[in-house]
A and B are shown apart, each in its own frame.
Chain A
Amino acid sequence: MTNEEIVIAIKDIIATIAPDEDLSGLELAPKLRDQIELDSMDFLDIVMELRKRYGVQVPEEDYMELATLQGCVDYLAPKLGDKQLVTA
């Protein structure tokens, strides 16, 4: 998966978890929680979806790495490099 595809993958997961949100203007650098309505249960949902869709385990101490879209790309790129994009 390329970095662009990782962004698509994360946005697709967020679209499932937060279906009322408009994700078209989501930016890479700002915190996700500052751009859309996401709470701690939603972040656990993101972690769960990564586990289900890609077999990626994100330990609790790494949750903060997923605070921004860019953080997701940086953190997940080594783990998703050989995976195929899955969308709901």
Chain B
Amino acid sequence: MPELPRVVITGVGLTSPNGDSLPAYRRNLLDGVSGVEAYEIRHVGETLAGVCHFDPLRHQKRKEVRRGTRAGSIAIWCARESLADAGLELAAIDRRRVGVYTGITEHGNVETENQIHEVAQYGFDLSFWSHHHNPRTVANNPAGEVTLNLGLSGPAYSLGGACAAGNLGLIHGTEQLQLGQVDVALAGGVSESIHTFGIFASFRAQGALARHTDPTRASRPFDRDRNGIVVSEGGCLFTLERLDDALARGARVYGEVRGYHVNSDGTDFVLPSASGQEHCIRGALKHAGLTPDRVDIVSTHATSTPSGDVAECQAIRGVFDGCETTFINNTKSYIGHAMGAAGALELAGNLPSFEDGLVHPTINLDHLDPECELRNLVHGEPLRPPQASDGEGIRTILNMSFGMLGINSAVVVQSPSN
């Protein structure tokens, strides 16, 4: 196989329940600040969710917000913030050579539920069904709204991969750059899922919707008393460029996408497989040409469900047992499960480790579930690992995202100093 160009992250645009920029988000991850809050949605009633508080009118007209979708607004916010962070001026870019790749867990449920709610007010007379329904619900909606807002004319579409989708967006953007299809990729994931009652109702029916008297304590991966997922909205789009292009324009480089792997369990609609996940992790390390002990941070997917967290811990132990300087954390404990955005947001939260030398902790872990016992699980307080103190530094992050129907993804990102 020919050697492919190296691809790097040069910009991060995000909105998360606990921060609308990477610095604010990172600060809250180091300070243990949750973004989960009380939330109410029709038919379900009072529940919990991770809610984003960015101002869409910073980048959209009111009419655009009205006509588009929440996922579209999230994607536009992330795309514009990412390009600005990368120092890329739209006027200086060939807009035909910019690709937009949005990972999504699902799309269209929100608008479909809204329309059914609407026509129900009129006795299900379908003349009240909106002509906006189709453009709002097509799977490429979030990416397409980005092109409309920014005047881009390159490829723009979504990658549907359940809760692994954030990683899929990043992987696909990397490949499109390597294949020369685009010169800049805006890639990651978005989610508007808190605006569909169906996702809450379905998780509740499955016995997998988190409950807690204190919303900020509800998402508690690895804890003995965890009881399910906190559904969140959010988004993160990375600006990706080929390394040579980034260096030529003097861009700041957050990290390099060194390897990845995607596979399927092929075993169950919802239950994860530790062996499938372990194969996925090993596949990503092989692709990156690394042994497990070279990984400094394992960013877990764990969603705070009883069975999911156990399976993932088995997979991690299978790969990293004996790796003394590999540290493990979890970001959903702060922001809940941002679905299609989760993988991208969780990687973004860890990227600053390359500079600040810290591993942000898992929070809300009061009583470790013995089945989730992991060597070097960082919890409670940020940790400066020995390699960060002795000059070696934090150099490699493994970011994992898994999803329903048994999809697994793992991405290896290395520091620009490599």
Interface, chain A (partner B; CB < 8 A): 17-20, 37, 41, 44-45, 48, 51-52, 57
Quote the shortest CB–CB distance from B1 to chain A (angstroms): 47
* Chain B residues positioned under 8 Å from A45 (CB to CB): 131
- CB pair B63–A18 under 8 Å, yes or no, is yes
* Chain A residues positioned under 8 Å from B67 (CB to CB): 41
- CB pair B63–A51 under 8 Å, yes or no, is no
Interface status of B269 (Cβ within 8 A of chain A)? no
- B30-76 at interface with A (beta carbon < 8 Å): 61-63, 66-67
Quote the shortest CB–CB distance from B368 to chain A (angstroms): 51
* Chain A residues positioned under 8 Å from B66 (CB to CB): 17, 19
Instruction: Return the CB mask of B114-144 against A: 1 if under 8 Å, else 0.
Output: 0000000010000110111000000000000
* Chain A residues positioned under 8 Å from B127 (CB to CB): 51, 57
* Chain B residues positioned under 8 Å from A44 (CB to CB): 131
B interface SS class: helix
Bound: A11/B132 CA distance, A = 21
Quote the shortest CB–CB distance from A15 to chain B (angstroms): 10
* Chain B residues positioned under 8 Å from A37 (CB to CB): 63
Quote the shortest CB–CB distance from A48 to chain B (angstroms): 7
* Chain A residues positioned under 8 Å from B130 (CB to CB): 48
* Chain B residues positioned under 8 Å from A51 (CB to CB): 127-128
- CB pair B128–A20 under 8 Å, yes or no, is no
* Chain B residues positioned under 8 Å from A17 (CB to CB): 63, 66
* Chain B residues positioned under 8 Å from A48 (CB to CB): 128, 130-131
Nearest A residue (CB) for B65: A19
* Chain A residues positioned under 8 Å from B63 (CB to CB): 17-20, 37
Chain B interface size, under 10 / 10 to 19 / 20 to 34 / 35 or more: 10 to 19
Bound: A18/B63 CA distance, A = 6
Quote the shortest CB–CB distance from A86 to chain B (angstroms): 15
Bound: A18/B130 CA distance, A = 16
Extra inter-chain contacts (14) besides given A48-B128, A52-B122, CB under 8 Å? A17-B66, A19-B62, A19-B63, A19-B66, A20-B62, A20-B63, A37-B63, A41-B67, A41-B131, A41-B132, A44-B131, A48-B131, A51-B127, A57-B127
Bound: A57/B127 CA distance, A = 9
* Chain A residues positioned under 8 Å from B132 (CB to CB): 41
Bound: A18/B65 CA distance, A = 11
Bound: A17/B61 CA distance, A = 12
* Chain A residues positioned under 8 Å from B62 (CB to CB): 19-20
Known: A19-B66, A41-B67. A52 touches B61 (CB 8 A): no
Bound: A26/B367 CA distance, A = 66
Quote the shortest CB–CB distance from A88 to chain B (angstroms): 12
Residue contacts A-B, CB under 8 angstroms, 23 given = A17-B63, A17-B66, A18-B63, A19-B62, A19-B63, A19-B66, A20-B61, A20-B62, A20-B63, A37-B63, A41-B67, A41-B131, A41-B132, A44-B131, A45-B131, A48-B128, A48-B130, A48-B131, A51-B127, A51-B128, A52-B122, A52-B128, A57-B127
* Chain B residues positioned under 8 Å from A20 (CB to CB): 61-63
Bound: A78/B92 CA distance, A = 55
Quote the shortest CB–CB distance from B111 to chain A (angstroms): 15
Nearest A residue (CB) for B135: A41
Bound: A44/B133 CA distance, A = 13
Quote the shortest CB–CB distance from B127 to chain A (angstroms): 7
* Chain B residues positioned under 8 Å from A19 (CB to CB): 62-63, 66
Bound: A41/B133 CA distance, A = 12
Most buried by B among A20, A37, A51, A52: A20
Bound: A51/B121 CA distance, A = 13
Quote the shortest CB–CB distance from A13 to chain B (angstroms): 13
Quote the shortest CB–CB distance from A67 to chain B (angstroms): 19
Bound: A34/B130 CA distance, A = 25
Nearest A residue (CB) for B62: A19
* Chain A residues positioned under 8 Å from B61 (CB to CB): 20
The 4 residue pairs across chains A and B that have the minimum distance between CB atoms? A19-B62, A20-B61, A44-B131, A20-B62
Quote the shortest CB–CB distance from B178 to chain A (angstroms): 38
Quote the shortest CB–CB distance from A51 to chain B (angstroms): 7
Bound: A56/B311 CA distance, A = 58
Nearest A residue (CB) for B131: A44
Quote the shortest CB–CB distance from A50 to chain B (angstroms): 12
Bound: A51/B126 CA distance, A = 12
